[in-house]
């Protein structure tokens, strides 16, 4: 249990196939058995027996290694576009430390999506009776938008946008998902609705149907 068997092989070993690798491991195991037997016979000898690694090229310069042994690295230099909407759906609750100054100014917003950090939100954005009756809003969904995240803080800072409703209901949950992904679900303007056919019921004309590929 105190011996680690290591095998090194290069392109030449790969050409010989698995048989060569199997022979190498077999030789190492035989040497290990001999070393273990001698270790049991010797008295007062302490230490760790290590198998000798196969002789191979010792490359100290990474530039001489083949590409398949190198790990590519990079560094972010500029953000072209912020894809996330910075909005999240979640719940609000009071801070645990009631004696802190932060407790008098902020509440904690816990997003449903665990990839989004928890957020400090001002108590002014919360319902008026939230401090006195926090249990009333324990299952109430809110939309919060992150506005800042300081480097020395574990939590981001944000603002509550609106209350969606009770968690588990279809409409609040759907509105929360659409808001998080930045989907505009507002009503169409009258100008857009005027582009639709006005004579109802509307059907595709035979001539138009003949030019189309039927994917129904």
Whether this prediction's pTM lies above 0.85 is answered by no
Report pLDDT for 59.
63
Q: How does pLDDT run across 180-190, given as a tens digit for each residue?
A: 988 989 999 99
Report pLDDT for 4.
58
Whole-Å CA distances, 209 to 127, 180, 203, 205: 55, 39, 10, 6
Question: Who has greater pLDDT, 174 or 53?
Answer: 174
pLDDT at 44 over 70: no
- Cβ atoms of 88 and 175 closer than 8 Å: no
Block residue for tokens 């509307």: 202
> Residue by residue, what is the 3-state secondary structure of 178-190?
HHHCCCCCCCCCH
Q: How does pLDDT run across 128-168, given as a tens digit for each residue?
A: 999 999 999 999 999 999 999 998 889 999 999 999 999 99
- Cβ atoms of 87 and 144 closer than 8 Å: yes
> Residue by residue, what is the 3-state secondary structure of 97-125?
CCCCCHHHCEEEEEECCCCCCCEEEEHHH
Cα(202)–Cα(166) distance, rounded to whole angstroms? 39
Domain boundaries, the chain: 87-181
Res. 37 pLDDT band, cuts 50 70 90:
low
Residue 22 dihedral angles phi and psi, to the nearest 5°:
-65, -40
Q: Which of 176, 90, 158 is nearest to 119 (CA)?
A: 158
Report pLDDT for 1.
47
- Tell the CATH topology of 87-181: OB fold (Dihydrolipoamide Acetyltransferase, E2P) (2.40.50)
3-class DSSP assignment, residue 144? strand
Backbone conformation region of residue 17, classed left if phi is above 0, alpha if psi is from -120 to 50, else beta: left
Report pLDDT for 214.
87
Whole-Å CA distances, 98 to 51, 94, 105: 62, 8, 11
Q: How does pLDDT run across 57-107, given as a tens digit for each residue?
A: 566 787 788 888 888 899 999 989 888 889 999 999 999 888 888 898 999
Res. 5 pLDDT band, cuts 50 70 90:
low
Q: Which of 49, 62, 68 is nearest to 10 (CA)?
A: 68
Cα(120)–Cα(106) distance, rounded to whole angstroms? 6
Backbone conformation region of residue 202, classed left if phi is above 0, alpha if psi is from -120 to 50, else beta: beta
């Amino acid at each position: 249990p105190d011996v680690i068997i290591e095998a090194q092989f290069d392109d030449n070993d790969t050409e010989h196939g698995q048989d060569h690798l199997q022979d190498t491991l077999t030789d190492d195991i035989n040497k290990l058995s001999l070393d273990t037997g001698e270790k049991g016979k010797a008295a007062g000898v302490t230490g760790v027996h290590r198998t000798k690694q196969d002789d191979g090229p010792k490359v100290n310069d990474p530039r001489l290694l083949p590409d398949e042994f190198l790990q590519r690295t990079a560094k972010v230099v500029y953000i072209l576009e912020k894809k996330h909407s910075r909005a999240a759906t979640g719940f609000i609750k009071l801070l645990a430390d009631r004696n802190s100054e932060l407790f008098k100014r902020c509440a904690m917003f816990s997003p449903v999506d665990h990839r989004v950090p928890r957020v400090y939100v001002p108590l002014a954005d919360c319902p008026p009776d939230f401090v006195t009756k926090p249990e009333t809003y324990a299952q109430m969904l809110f939309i919060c938008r992150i506005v800042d995240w300081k480097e020395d803080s574990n939590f981001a800072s944000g603002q509550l946008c609106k209350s969606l409703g009770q968690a588990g209901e279809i409409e609040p949950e759907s509105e929360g998902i659409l808001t998080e992904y930045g989907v505009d679900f507002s009503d169409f303007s009258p100008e857009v609705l005027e582009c639709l056919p006005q004579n109802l019921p509307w059907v595709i004309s035979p001539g138009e149907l003949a030019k189309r590929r039927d994917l129904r």
